[in-house]
Amino acid sequence: MSRFFDRHFVVLALAVLCLAAFNLAFRLGSEFVSEWDESLYAISAWEAVDKGSWIGTTFFGELDYYNTKPPLMVWLVALAFKAFGRSLTSLRLVPAISAWLTVAALQYWTKRWFGPIVALIASLVLTTTFGFIYVHSGRSAVTDAPFTLVILLIVATLWAEKERPGLRAWLGRYLVAIGHFQGMAMWPIFPMSILPFGMVGIAGIAICIISPGLPWKIIFSQASPSIFSIAKADGTVSRVIVAAAIAVGSSRMLDTPRG
């Protein structure tokens, strides 16, 4: 049986990738927009294109105090709107491509290290997993699919670098990528996601997160001066609260809309 899969692996692998493409793309522009994160990203990206609100992202014309994540996903959706027009397909294009690349990367990695049978089964299972394809992931305008792709690339590199030390250079790039992605898209939940990397990895990723995310957070806060009105209050405690809020990415929670 293994000879059969060895002989026909390319055809079977392409079939799985085609199935993944179909599952991700079929009626992608016809599904309703969910009232969860997807609708928030859609509106903020639309207004970024219309009004130029790329730093202080807005929701129905007002600074968005609900979505506490930095604006990378908003930027990606807005760029898709500008490149391909405003549609539901453009809205979900980045996550769909990321999910398809995840299937392809999983297939390549498992074929190299575990053989064709495991590669085909693993990629087929992922391709037909409802939670990965549909629920808040590949077919939704959210950050989960791009983040999953970067995580998989890190796992594959960690697996391979023991026999090929030269891959450690790529590991560094992936860690920087995941750090910047966390810092500019998913900052509030980063502590839970980097625990598997150990203390050294946590320190390195934390630096990558702070470097792009902190300047944006400060700039956004300046767009709404309410948080700095707290800092002007007498006493050290007020200033500590403001600094901590900016550092952990929760300044929007302290801001109060102007009105």
pLDDT given at position 241: 42
pLDDT in 10s for each residue of the chain, 259 residues: 678 888 889 999 999 999 999 999 999 988 888 777 888 899 999 999 998 888 788 888 888 777 767 788 888 999 999 999 999 999 999 999 999 999 999 999 999 888 999 999 999 999 999 989 987 889 998 888 888 888 888 788 778 777 776 666 666 666 656 555 555 555 444 444 444 444 444 455 455 544 555 555 555 555 554 444 444 444 444 444 444 444 434 334 334 443 4
Q: What are phi and psi of 135, to 5 degrees?
A: -75, 105
pLDDT given at position 229: 47
Report pTM.
0.69
CA angle (182 as vertex; 33, 61 as ends), nearest 5:
45
Q: Which residue has the tokens 């989960």?
A: 144
Q: In DSSP terms, which residues pair with 59 in a beta bridge?
A: 62
Distance of CA 58 to the CA centre of its chain: 20
CB-CB contact of 65 with 258 (8 Å): no
